[in-house]
Amino acid sequence: MDEITARQARFLKDHRRHHHLVTALRFLIFFLFLAAWEISTRVHLIDAFIFSSPSRILETVFTMGRDGSIFRHTGITLYETLVSFLLVILVSFLMATVLWFSSTASEVLEPCLVILNSLPKSALAPLLIVWLGANPGTIIVAGMSVAVFGSIISMYTAFRETDEEKIKLIRTLGGNRMHILCCVVFPSSIPSILSILKVNIGLCLVGVIIGEFLAAREGLGYLIIYASQIFKMNYLITSLIILCIIAFLLYQIIQKLEHYIRKARKI
C-alpha cells in the first residue's frame, strides 16, 4: 500500500487542485465583495451612512477595541450562550432519562412538549422578562427556551431507538433498567446526542440574541437594537459580523468535539 500508482497520484493531484481552486474562489469573491462595497460608498453610489463600509467597520472595531466595549459585549453574549447551552444539554438529558424510565410520564407529557416545541419561542421572551426581570438570568432562560423542548424530544427519541435485542441481552445477563440505561442506551445514543449538540448551540445563540433585543444593557443583541435606534449603522454591522464569527467558532468547537469522540470510540 506504500507505493502509489501513477493513476492514484494523478487522482490525488486533481483532488488537491480542486480543493485549492474552491478555497481561492472563496477568498476572491470575499475580497471582490469588500472592494465593491468600499468603492461604491467612496463614489457615493450608495450612502455610507446607511450601508456603512469596510473601512468604517474597521474603524469601529478599533474604537470599540480601544475602550474595551467590543470585548464586553461579545463576552457577555458568549457567556450567556454557553451557559444556556450547557443548561439545555443538562435539562434535556435529565428529562429524556425520566421520560425513558416512565412510559406513562412520556405519554402524559407528549402533547405539552409538542406544543411548546412548535411555539415561536420569541413570543415567550416578553413573558420571561416580566416574570424574571431584565437581567442576564432572563437572557439565559430565553436562550434555553428556544432549544430545550426540541432537544428533549430528539434526545428521548434517540434513547427510544436503542436496539431491542441489545436491551434483551442486558436483561439475559441479569441487568435491571439502570444497567440497560448505562450499558446500552447512553453509549448507543452518543452519535445522536452529538448532532443534537450541533443544532442546539446555534439555537441557544438565537435565543440569547432575542432576549438581549428585549431586555439587556449589554451584549451583541443589545448593541444591534441600540445601534439601529440611533442609526449607528457601523456599530450594527460590526455586531453582525462578530455574531457570524461567534456562530462559526461555536459550531467548529462542537465539530472538533464530535471528531474527537468518534476517534476515541473508533466509529
Partner 1 sequence: MSPLLEVSHVCYSYHTLSGETQALCDITFSVDEGEFLAIVGPSGCGKSTLLSLLSGLIEPEQGSVHIGRLPVSGHRAGIGYMLQKDHLFEWRTVYKNVILGLEIQKRLTKENLEHVEEMLKDYGLAAFKDSRPSELSGGMRQRAALIRTLALNPSLLLLDEPFSALDYQTRLNVCNDVCGIIKRENKTAILVTHDLSEAVSMADRILILSRRPAGIVKILPVHFKEKGLTPMERRQAPEFKDYFNEIWKELNAHG
Residues at the site binding partner 1, with contacts judged by CB under 8 A: 163, 165-166, 168-175, 179, 183-184, 187-188, 190, 265-267
Query: Are 174 and 185 a contacting pair, CB within 8 Å?
Result: no
The least distance separating partner 1 from the CB of residue 175, rounded to whole angstroms, comes to: 4
Q: In the 3-class helix/strand/coil scheme, how is 159-180 assigned residue by residue?
A: HHCCCHHHHHHHHHCCCCHHHH
- Of the pair 1, 6, the CB lying nearest partner 1 is at 1
Nearest to 180 by CA among 164, 198, 157, 197: 164
Backbone angles phi, psi at 119, to 5 degrees: -65, 135
- Of the pair 3, 165, the CB lying nearest partner 1 is at 165
- Of the pair 50, 267, the CB lying nearest partner 1 is at 267
CB neighbourhood size of 194 (10 A)? 16
The least distance separating partner 1 from the CB of residue 101, rounded to whole angstroms, comes to: 18
Query: For residue 40, which amino acid is it?
Result: S
- Of the pair 15, 168, the CB lying nearest partner 1 is at 168
The least distance separating partner 1 from the CB of residue 187, rounded to whole angstroms, comes to: 5
Query: Are 138 and 132 a contacting pair, CB within 8 Å?
Result: yes
The least distance separating partner 1 from the CB of residue 106, rounded to whole angstroms, comes to: 19
The least distance separating partner 1 from the CB of residue 158, rounded to whole angstroms, comes to: 15
Dig out the grid coordinates for 197 from the structure.
449538540
The least distance separating partner 1 from the CB of residue 120, rounded to whole angstroms, comes to: 37
- Of the pair 7, 266, the CB lying nearest partner 1 is at 266
Within 13 Å of residue 139, how many CA atoms lie on the same side as its CB?
Answer: 28
Query: Are 81 and 204 a contacting pair, CB within 8 Å?
Result: yes
In three-state secondary structure terms, 135 is coil
- Of the pair 98, 169, the CB lying nearest partner 1 is at 169
